[in-house]
Amino acid sequence: MSSNSFLPYGRQSIDQDDIASVAKALQADYLTTGPGVGRFEQAFAEMVGARYAIASNSGTAALHLACIALGLQKGDAVIVPTLTFLATANAARFCGADVIFADVDADTGRLTAATLEAAFAKAGSAKVKAVLPVHLNGHCADLTTIRAMTEPRGIKVIEDACHALGGIHQSGNSSTAKVGACALSELACFSLHPVKTMTTGEGGVTTTNDPKHYKIMQLYRSHGMVRDAADFRHRDLGFAPDGQPNPWYYEMQALGWNYRITDFACALGESQLAKLPRFVERRRELVALYDRLLPALSPKLKIVPAQAGDNAALHLYAVLIDFAGIKKSRAQVMAELKGQGVGTMVHYLPVHQQPYYRDLYGKQDLPGADSYYARQLSIPLYPDMTDADVTRVVHALRSVLG
Ligand SMILES: *Cc1c(COP(=O)(O)O)cnc(C)c1O
């Protein structure tokens, strides 16, 4: 990669073998719902150490299917950290459940024991069925603590692991687990959007170890429809008088969606998944270089601390900048960095501040999230970056921050 080109904050890595894999899938008999989907799901489940993986056509669908698997409905509530992408909260709303926004730590952007406890207090008598911790930037939320606080209350955990594919988190005193293995959760959700750690174009995966959750997600991914004669409810319509299942027959047993992913997207997924260890290794090298160089810019710029005991695979490299202290607005800093060929982005405006949620729940005071948001900037991180690219980003930051 040229060190003079523009560096976006993130981008996909597509090689010739990815292209060949998709081209081969396009020449096969099935473009969608063929054998490629199941193959990809099995490979993904093995990679993250879960029993089951359900592939769908977005990370948003993956989150929605997870909420459906837990049976969320109107009258239920879920706790979502407000510092996340819209879809974490929206997935619960699609089921009719209410969202209780939790605050986050101002310096990590992650849920803590204290902010979760405050969210339980805010929930009052609401029927909280699930917590959706977000592994922001790829640093895992403190799942051990979250599990210890939710399990006694009978509350389930859905991990929004969209940033954290390939990471390892602490799962006990001296044990670790892969992100997606659901060691301390019921379900984990991933996005395969091009900017994420690996891609299928648009795409998502939900993992679980529970066969009941798996079956429900299969049903709702495709119109709530069953084609397997063993599952038919209408004996009279599903079977001929001789007892043979009617070959054209299918049955809709629930109001589902079309969240199916294509075979050629899964062909890209299989090819990308084989490279995941290399992607993760390169991301870790780049992160280690940033971690070594950026503390020199303190206190104007601070880096986000990892969760103790984890070996994260970061999707984003977030820095926190004291814009007031350097007397420049964030927009000005972004423009000046862009002028030096460095792309940046902000992740995220706290979701409780979005007009839709403000109309629904009114104004809320979540100062940790506001403080993180006010200082946050994502700087370039993707596997095709060179070490020289990282140095260039750090130089650009030093010159812009003054
Ligand atoms: C990307 C992302 C999603 C949604 O994924 P899509 O594939 O874009 O639908 C959800 N949550 C988080 C934290 C994400 O980063």
- Does the beta carbon of 199 sit less than 6 angstroms from any atom of ligand 1? no
User: Six-digit token pair at 373?
Assistant: 């948001």
Q: Which of 306, 332, 299 is nearest to 141 (CA)?
A: 306
β-strand 98-102 against 76-81: which pairing, if any? parallel
Q: How far is the CA of 109 from the centre of ligand 1 (A)?
A: 16
Q: Which of 348, 345, 338 is nearest to 378 (CA)?
A: 345
- Closest residue to atom 1 of ligand 1, CA basis: 191
The residue type of 398 is R
Give DSSP secondary structure letters for 53-115: EEEES-HHHHHHHHHHHTT--TTEEEEEESSS-HHHHHHHHHTT-EEEEEP--TTT-S--HHH
β-strand 251-252 against 225-226: which pairing, if any? antiparallel
Q: How far is the CA of 80 from the centre of ligand 1 (A)?
A: 14
What pLDDT, on a 0 to 100 scale, did the predictor assign at position 173? 80
Measured in degrees and rounded to the nearest 5, phi and psi for residue 97 equal -75, 155
- Which residues are 157's β-sheet partners? 131
Query: Cα dist. 108→80, 87, 226, 229, 304 in Å?
Result: 16, 20, 44, 51, 5
- Does the beta carbon of 60 sit less than 6 angstroms from any atom of ligand 1? yes
What pLDDT, on a 0 to 100 scale, did the predictor assign at position 1? 45
Which numbered atom of ligand 1 lies nearest the CA of 84? 13
User: Six-digit token pair at 363?
Assistant: 């104004």
What pLDDT, on a 0 to 100 scale, did the predictor assign at position 2? 45
Q: How far is the CA of 172 from the centre of ligand 1 (A)?
A: 28
C-alpha 309/C-alpha 303 separation (Å) is 18
What three-state secondary structure class fits 251?
Answer: strand
What pLDDT, on a 0 to 100 scale, did the predictor assign at position 330? 98
Using most ligand atoms within 8 A of CB, pick from 137, 189, 193 the residue to mutate for ligand 1: 193
pLDDT tens for the chain, 402 residues: list them.
Answer: 445 689 999 999 999 999 999 999 999 999 988 899 999 999 999 999 999 999 999 999 999 999 999 999 999 999 999 999 999 999 999 999 999 999 999 999 999 999 999 999 999 999 999 999 999 999 999 999 999 999 999 999 999 999 999 999 999 888 999 999 999 999 999 999 999 999 999 999 999 999 999 999 999 999 999 999 999 999 999 999 999 999 999 999 999 999 999 999 999 999 999 999 999 999 999 999 999 999 999 999 999 998 888 999 999 999 999 999 999 999 999 999 999 999 999 999 999 999 999 999 999 999 999 999 999 999 999 999 999 999 999 999 999 999
